[in-house]
Structure 1
Amino acid sequence: MEYDSQGPILKVLLLIGGNSTATGSPKGLLRHQDGQLAFEHTLNTLHSAVPSASTIYISLQDIIQLSYIEPTLKNIAVRRTTDAEHHEHDDHRPTFPECCPLVNRQDEDIGPAAGLLNAHNIHPESTWLVLSCDYPLLPPSSLQQLILEYQYPVTCFVNEKGIAEPLIGIWGAEALEKLKENGRIGSNDLYAVVEEMKGKLVKPLREEWITPTNTREE
């Protein structure tokens, strides 16, 4: 794994996720109390946690999901250009990263494993910070905790019941290769990979950080 003066060099992956069971809409499009969509909120969290990342990859189930977020992505692109113009002489202010959608092209729905495998196929040697839109209370400081405690090949949070949260994790190339290998025999279980690779489980400083949401009210 590569390191620089700020710590491990990570690629960043946002998982939009499937539909909310309560609303039938993509979880990434649920609106927060501050007016932001869940996926916008998660983008900002990832940017704050890894300001050096030049790109945030966004995993989508299909073209339909892409059409839902395209207007927001266009607004973000305009914002990036404006920020760059306003701060072209400020080397200490990071520009908001480019957003790169990754649409699941696989023949069957294999859940969040599709997003991780798509990202791994693009950058097979990289280590990925992975975050799903399911966790609206997650602050940047929680991801910084995860980065500080990262242990190869995979590290993720664990809840108070001892259940791993692989959608808030850091996945190294070896763990992603294992996920790919398991997929060939019909298993796309992220939890199984964490267990098989003896992944490091990190208890968050605050349990509510890793409480998922599934409804607009939550």
Structure 2
Amino acid sequence: MLDNAPTDKSRTKHAQLARPHGGEFGRHELAILGAPCGRIKELAARLLPLLTDTLRVAYVDADHAAADAVRNGTTPETGMLAAGANAELTDNIRFARLDVKRPLDRFSQPELLQHQSLVLINGNHFRAAQQLVILDPAKPVEKKLDRLTDVRALLIPEGVTEVPAYLRAHLGEANVPVLPLHDTAAIAQLILDEWRVAAPPLRGLVLAGGRSQRMGQDKSKLVYHGQEQRAYAAELLAPFCQDVHVSCRPDQVVELEYAGLRPLPDTFTDLGPLSGILSALRLDPNAAWLVVACDLPFLSETTLAHLVQHRQPGRLATAFQSPENEWPEPLITIWEPASYPQLLRFLSLGYSCPRKTLINSDVAVLPAPVPQELRNVNTPEEAEQVRQELE
């Protein structure tokens, strides 16, 4: 062994990070195969109008004309790439297109499609975590069985009456639905139903790690309802979440444990509320986090129920509109897993304000059923006024 070769001990120094679930192209991806490419694209085009009210859908395919040109040795470079540019961004009135002179590695593909809640893929060219199989005699999948890792449905064209024996043997005891290929509504409903079942679980986070400089004392320890606000907020979240954490500074961990709460110390520091949100998403990037600030003494279980009932997991987040302006309120928001890379992107650009991310992302913004409940308390005078109103 070479003296400078890495050892098992050196490899353990790497951070043990929870990784987001995902396939080749996205968190939720579905390959369509078993038919000529034109028929696959036609099915995807039929499905899109029935899916896009709920989901943000991407479609992945090969450029068949470019592939033919490569085989023929006649591939042309076009636009500014031909002039020597490494990338060309085209801002069309209705869409944007980025052409780059580089292959897409498996990390680039999900990054480019991270804002999509579902990716439909031409399975003749690319693999995906789950599959729809069309039983088209013109394109049998007998030689592609290794791609059929999680078949969600078999689609039967007109004139086909049975599932081939080789496919039945491959599927074994799996109970795979069989649907007519022409029944677009049934196929779309199956996709939507399975997507809803796979929606990320909801975990709770109380933001309580601030310095409370305007208040002059820890806001999370103020008592309006017979208990500290951090405990009161955690109890409000509990009916809606599989568990509830209290975001905190590392020096607050012990006192929170003594208080019977579940501390989540910031692993991103000095970023204000963003510290807690990012630390939660780092802990579990595959959950959605229902985040509330500790300084909302009027917040009720009814308002939280309204937010959860109107959650849109296909968006980056679901938030209430601020009662003070038209902007989303980031500190009583459901942050979906897709928000993690988006928040990090804004941080890399020098922005630590979660509201900035919401304003510039695909989010659902709801009118608050009782806007008064979104009122936060930052000063001793405001705290005293709240106590008087709650008497």
Deviation at 1:3? 5.0
Deviation at 1:25? 1.6
1:154 aligns with 2:320: no
Name the residue aligned to 1:80: none
Q: CA RMSD in A?
A: 2.1
Deviation at 1:9? 2.8
Q: Percent identity?
A: 25
Instruction: Tell whether the 8 Å contact from 2:256 to 2:263 is kept in structure 1 after alignment.
Output: no
1:69 aligns with 2:69: no
Name the residue aligned to 1:55: 243
Q: Which amino acid in 2 is paired with 1:162?
A: E
Q: Which segments of structure 1 move beyond 2 Å, counting only runs of 4 or more?
A: 1-4, 19-23, 65-71
Q: Which amino acid in 1 is paired with 2:253?
A: L
How does 1:166-177 map onto structure 2 within 5 Å? Answer: 166-177=330-341
The equivalent position to 2:349 in structure 1, one of 185, 188, 192, is 185
- What are structure 2's unaligned runs of at least 5 residues? 1-116, 118-194, 387-391
2 CA distance for matches of 1:140 and 1:16?
Answer: 19
1 CA distance for matches of 2:292 and 2:271?
Answer: 17
How does 1:28-107 map onto structure 2 within 5 Å? Answer: 28-32=220-224, 34-48=225-239, 50=240, 53-63=241-251, 65-73=252-260, 99-106=261-268
Deviation at 1:163? 3.0
Instruction: Tell whether the 8 Å contact from 1:17 to 1:133 is kept in structure 2 after alignment.
Output: no
Instruction: Tell whether the 8 Å contact from 1:17 to 1:27 is kept in structure 2 after alignment.
Output: no
Deviation at 1:206? 0.9
Name the residue aligned to 2:291: 130
- What are structure 1's unaligned runs of at least 5 residues? 74-98
Name the residue aligned to 2:137: none
Structure number with higher relative contact order (C-alpha < 8 Å, ≥ 6 residues apart): 1
1:16 aligns with 2:208: yes
Name the residue aligned to 1:26: 218
Deviation at 1:55? 2.0
Deviations, residues 176-199 of structure 1 (Å, cap 9, x unaligned): 210012222322121111112131
Deviations, residues 161-180 of structure 1 (Å, cap 9, x unaligned): 22321110001111221001
Deviations, residues 69-108 of structure 1 (Å, cap 9, x unaligned): 33312xxxxxxxxxxxxxxxxxxxxxxxxx43111234x5
1 CA distance for matches of 2:212 and 2:361?
Answer: 30
SS of 1:173's partner is: coil
Larger radius of gyration: 2
Q: Which amino acid in 2 is paired with 1:66?
A: V
Check 1:147–1:8 CA distance in 2 against 1; reply closer, same or farther (3 A cut). farther
SS of 2:262's partner is: strand
Aligned residues: 185
